[in-house]
């Protein structure tokens, strides 16, 4: 049997094992010497890759999208056999949700992977918050995709996100798994640079692979989806100007800024509405919307399929992405693909994705956001230059390219 070759450590390499941590400090380390050992992957058969996904019960749309699109695209290649690993959460319904999630991630999933480790040549964990699973696999055969470093803030920025000792210990386990993997892909150069800034991994073990846009998200009309959304919110497209926000309501999304900007703009454009797609507003956000007098002008829609989401993008006057941090910002590129104007926070990741096709505002500056929204709303949505710029920028991001780049990384790892 012919063998490909991988470099494996003859002595412990700190960044291939557990990171040294003193209190909340993450201490980087450099590689030591290595020995060449054979890693047998017969060249007479396709190599086998497991795409390791989140539990479906997590209901994390963006992570599910990445896993599903990567799996679907890899299946088109004859040089690779791909299987999706996505078990149901075994403790769901048996114990409280938080306990079920903890037991599922740290007990059930590691046991499952340890039983199938010989079935695959390579494992790709598509969500960095599952990186602790690397410890249950041969580390030299695991790739992890890191979307951002928010999950590690209690270690990297403890003054901003203080957590309990137990939570920090769990987070260390996840971070050490990320550092132990043979290679880490990042959605943006901004995320890669953040990893390098914190000295978590060396540059040669990092690659940037941009996410793609789902084929259903386009500027082409879809009468069925358009009617469905019109029925859900009780308005025909174009009956009034509409702002759109897509995503969760966690603190970094800055829903407070979104609501205040909406209230300010609505004072000058009384017919304006806001469509919110994603998780429900928190009680605090509901209270803020009520105090601003705009709650009844907000249409909240949860977990739409891709066709209906595309209909929301197409009918909106402008998408607002008010986040103070993002790893990629899928709604930005999805809205542009549908020909819709975008105003986003002026942060590195969103500028990388939106390019010159979007407008940008300082994080949290309600006055600047208000003036920019009013300016964008004064343009015809289908104004040729803005429309073509949006669609052209979005065309740079495809899941076909994403999978092709991942496949090249797989081959590089297996033949290193």
DSSP 277-325: ESSPPPHHHHHHHHHTT-GGGEEEE-S--HHHHHHHHHH-SEEEE--S-
Q: Please list the helix, strand and coil fractions of the chain in percent, rounded to the nearest 5, in that order.
A: 45, 20, 35
| Alpha carbons 76 and 100: distance in angstroms, whole number | 35
Is the confidence at residue 364, as pLDDT, over 50? Answer: yes
Give 363's contacts (C-beta < 8 A, 6+ positions apart).
Answer: 254, 257, 322, 323, 324, 345, 346, 347
Q: Determine which of 218-232, 273-287, 371-385, 400-414 has the lowest per-residue pLDDT on average.
A: 371-385
Q: What is the pLDDT of residue 379?
A: 81
- Mean pLDDT over residues 137-144, rounded? 97
Q: What is the pLDDT of residue 15?
A: 29
Cα dist from 221 to 42, 116, 245, 383, whole Å: 48, 45, 20, 17
Q: What is the pLDDT of residue 30?
A: 34
Q: What is the pLDDT of residue 40?
A: 53
Q: What is the pLDDT of residue 32?
A: 28
238-270: per-residue pLDDT in tens? 899 999 999 999 999 999 999 999 999 999 999
Q: Give the pLDDT band (50/70/90) at residue 5.
A: very low
| Total Cβ atoms within 10 A of residue 76 | 11
For the chain, what is the mean pLDDT?
89
| Alpha carbons 14 and 29: distance in angstroms, whole number | 6
- Of the chain, the end-to-end C-alpha distance in Å amounts to 18
Q: Structural domains in the chain?
A: 4-212+400-414 (3.40.50.2000), 223-396 (3.40.50.2000)
Strands (E), 34-121: 34-39, 47-52, 80-85
Residue 260 parent element (H or E): helix 255-268
Taking a C-beta distance cutoff of 8 angstroms, is the pair 126, 74 a contact? no
Is the confidence at residue 229, as pLDDT, over 60? Answer: yes
Is the confidence at residue 20, as pLDDT, over 90? Answer: no
Angle subtended by helix axes 366-377 and 255-268, to nearest 10: 50
Q: Give the pLDDT band (50/70/90) at residue 416.
A: confident
- Mean pLDDT over residues 189-218, rounded? 97
28-84: per-residue pLDDT in tens? 333 323 333 345 555 567 899 999 999 999 988 899 999 999 999 999 998 899 999
Q: Give the pLDDT band (50/70/90) at residue 13.
A: very low
Q: What is the pLDDT of residue 42?
A: 56
Q: Determine which of 194-198, 260-264, 303-307 has the lowest per-residue pLDDT on average.
A: 303-307
Q: Give the pLDDT band (50/70/90) at residue 94.
A: confident
- Mean pLDDT over residues 181-189, rounded? 98
| Total Cβ atoms within 10 A of residue 78 | 7
Place of tokens 């890669």: 192
Q: What is the pLDDT of residue 300?
A: 96
Is the confidence at residue 90, as pLDDT, over 60? Answer: yes
Q: What is the pLDDT of residue 96?
A: 85
């Amino acid at each position: 049997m012919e063998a490909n070759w991988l470099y494996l450590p003859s002595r412990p390499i700190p960044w291939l094992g557990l990171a040294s941590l003193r209190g909340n400090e993450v201490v980087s380390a450099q590689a030591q010497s290595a020995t060449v050992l054979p890693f047998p992957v017969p060249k007479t058969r396709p190599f086998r890759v497991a795409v390791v996904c989140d539990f479906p019960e997590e209901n994390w749309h963006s992570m599910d999208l990445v896993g599903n699109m990567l799996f679907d695209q890899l299946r088109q290649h004859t040089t690779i056999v791909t299987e999706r690993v996505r078990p149901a959460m075994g403790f769901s319904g048996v114990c409280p949700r938080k306990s079920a999630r903890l037991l599922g991630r740290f007990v059930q999933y590691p046991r499952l992977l340890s039983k199938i480790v010989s079935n695959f040549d390579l494992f790709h964990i598509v969500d960095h918050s599952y990186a602790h699973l690397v410890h249950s696999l041969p580390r030299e055969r695991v790739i992890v995709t890191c979307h951002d470093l928010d999950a590690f803030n209690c270690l990297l920025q403890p003054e901003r996100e203080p957590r309990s000792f137990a939570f920090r210990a769990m987070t260390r386990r996840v971070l050490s798994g990320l550092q132990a993997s043979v290679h880490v892909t990042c959605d943006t150069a901004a995320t890669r640079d953040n990893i390098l800034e914190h000295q978590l991994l060396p540059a040669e073990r990092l690659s940037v692979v941009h996410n793609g846009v789902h084929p259903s998200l386009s500027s082409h009309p879809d009468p069925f989806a358009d009617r469905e959304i019109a029925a859900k919110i009780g308005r025909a497209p174009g009956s009034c100007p509409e702002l759109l926000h897509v995503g969760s309501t966690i603190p970094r999304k800055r829903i407070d800024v979104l609501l205040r900007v909406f209230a300010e703009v609505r004072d000058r454009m009384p017919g304006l509405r806001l469509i919110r797609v994603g998780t429900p507003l928190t009680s605090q956000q509901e209270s803020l919307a009520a105090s601003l007098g705009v709650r009844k002008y907000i249409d909240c829609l949860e977990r739409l399929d891709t066709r209906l989401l595309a209909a929301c993008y197409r009918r909106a006057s402008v998408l607002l992405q008010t986040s103070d941090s993002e790893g990629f910002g899928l709604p930005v590129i999805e809205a542009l693909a549908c020909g819709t104007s975008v105003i986003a926070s002026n942060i590195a990741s969103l500028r990388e994705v939106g390019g010159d096709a979007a407008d940008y505002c300082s994080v949290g500056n309600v006055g600047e956001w208000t003036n920019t929204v009013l300016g964008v709303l004064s343009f015809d949505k289908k104004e040729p230059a803005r429309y073509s710029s949006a669609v052209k920028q979005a065309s740079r991001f495809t899941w076909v390219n994403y999978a092709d780049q991942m496949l090249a990384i797989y081959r590089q790892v297996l033949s290193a």
